């Protein structure tokens, strides 16, 4: 049986001690690691030699993590991005997620938590690659009016047009579609889709729903597909 290639992780962190510690632990876990000290180097490397996952510090000299994330998403680079931030304000967290980050950790964090997030993000990315290559058993598409979700291919079509969704956005939309009529709170969605339920992370769900609405709603301010149920949570509209 041929040996599998270890996933490559691009780590951008300007603090040498933190960068070295994270890189050492990732390598010990079996990952290939490219470690750089600034955002400009991270962007150049990812454009030339794409890694399977990026870990970006929010505050770096030159280009910061948010600018790198925004630039990559604008170029349709869909590799998962884990943002590291020393800032604990909700604004900073939400901004990173709005610009396309898949997850974030606020410093100080435990290495065990970092490794768990890395493993989860890589697993979702691998499922997406398998689906796009046609591996796995076929599952019938789920239709809700003009919205069409293909679980096997992990793709979404709206009015016949393919939509670009990150792995996390797709998982969130699929979870709604697989539970028609069910209203989910933010903490329930966090546990079901993200796989964890830490207090203070519920706004992660809100930002991903806002990103989905921007892609699938004719008017994101008056959504007709992903509905807000006041005092309860969110649901996908009942199929017409």
**Contact between 75 and 47 (Cβ < 8 Å):** yes
- SS in 3 state form for 7-39? CEEEEECCCHHHHHHHHHHHHHCCCEEEEECCH
Partner residues linked to 54 by β-bridges: 10, 81
> What pLDDT is recorded for position 229?
92
pLDDT digits 0-9 by tens, 62-76:
899 989 998 998 887
- pTM of the predicted protein model: 0.66
Peptide bond into 108 cis (omega under 30): yes
**Contact between 106 and 96 (Cβ < 8 Å):** no
Distances (CA, A) of 147 to 30, 57, 224, 225, 237: 40, 36, 11, 9, 11
Token code pair at residue 81: 């991005």
Residue 21 has pLDDT above 80, yes or no: yes
Pairing of strands 155-158, 147-150: antiparallel
First to last CA, the chain: 49
| Mean pLDDT on 158-184 | 88
pLDDT digits 0-9 by tens, 45-55:
999 999 999 99
Residue 198 has pLDDT above 60, yes or no: no
pLDDT digits 0-9 by tens, 105-129:
888 889 999 999 899 888 877 776 6
Give the C-alpha separation, 54 to 22, whole Å. 12
Domains of the chain, start order: 8-131 (3.40.50.2300), 137-236 (1.10.10.10)
């Amino acid at each position: 049986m041929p040996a599998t290639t270890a996933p490559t992780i691009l780590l951008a962190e300007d603090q040498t001690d933190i960068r070295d510690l994270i890189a050492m632990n990732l390598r010990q876990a079996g990952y290939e690691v490219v470690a750089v000290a600034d955002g400009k180097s991270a962007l150049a490397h990812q454009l030339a030699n794409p890694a399977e996952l990026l870990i970006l510090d929010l505050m770096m000299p030159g280009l910061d993590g948010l600018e790198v994330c925004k630039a990559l998403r604008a170029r349709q680079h869909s590799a998962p991005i884990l943002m590291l931030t020393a800032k604990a304000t909700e604004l900073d967290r939400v901004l990173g997620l709005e610009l396309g980050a898949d997850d974030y950790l606020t410093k100080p964090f435990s290495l065990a938590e970092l490794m768990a997030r890395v493993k989860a993000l890589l697993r979702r990315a691998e499922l997406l690659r398998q689906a796009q290559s046609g591996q796995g058993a076929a599952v019938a598409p789920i239709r809700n009016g003009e919205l069409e979700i293909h679980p096997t291919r992990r793709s979404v079509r709206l009015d016949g047009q393919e939509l670009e969704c990150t792995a996390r956005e797709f998982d969130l939309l699929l979870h709604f579609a697989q539970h028609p009529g069910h209203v989910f709170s933010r903490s329930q969605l966090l546990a079901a889709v993200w796989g964890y339920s830490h207090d203070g992370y519920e706004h992660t769900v809100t930002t991903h729903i806002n990103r989905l609405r921007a892609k699938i709603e004719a008017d994101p301010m008056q959504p007709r597909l992903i509905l807000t149920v006041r005092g309860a949570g969110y649901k996908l509209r009942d199929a017409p």
